Amino acid sequence: MIDASNFEAAWANAKGLAEAFLANKDYYVASGAYQEAEARSDFIDKLFMSLGWDVNHEHEKDPYRQEVKIEKSTSPKEGGKAD
């Protein structure tokens, strides 16, 4: 995990994630095959971890105090997406 106090390392990691996304943008955006959960795992969680967030609850075990929560899926009638 990248130390959040190290701005340069966090910036480099964010830049790498953006480059990886752009290299395969057609698949991620236009194909319709890329799922929200995959985007979170491949990009969003990694970005937050590079900024020092405890995404995987490695430090904060108390569920009431955790920074990141997994959103519940909704019913297909409601669109089936968490957000």
pLDDT tens per residue, range 10-55 = 899 999 999 999 999 999 998 889 998 899 899 999 998 888 888 7
Pair of tokens at residue 57: 């609850």
Go through 17-56 and write b for each residue having 16 or more CB atoms within 10 A of its CB, e for each that does not. beeeeeeeeeebeeeeeeeeeeebeebeebeebbeeebbe
Quote the number of domains for the chain: 1
Does the residue 28 lie in any domain? yes
Does the residue 68 lie in any domain? yes
Q: Is the pTM of this model over 0.75?
A: no
Structural domain harbouring 19: 7-78
Does the residue 1 lie in any domain? no
Does the residue 18 lie in any domain? yes
Overall residue count recorded for the chain in this entry? 83
Confidence (pLDDT) at 75: 59
Does the residue 39 lie in any domain? yes
Does the residue 11 lie in any domain? yes
Does the residue 83 lie in any domain? no
3-class SS of residue 9: helix
Does the residue 21 lie in any domain? yes
Confidence (pLDDT) at 80: 60
Question: In this predicted model, which residue has the larger pLDDT, 27 or 3?
Answer: 27
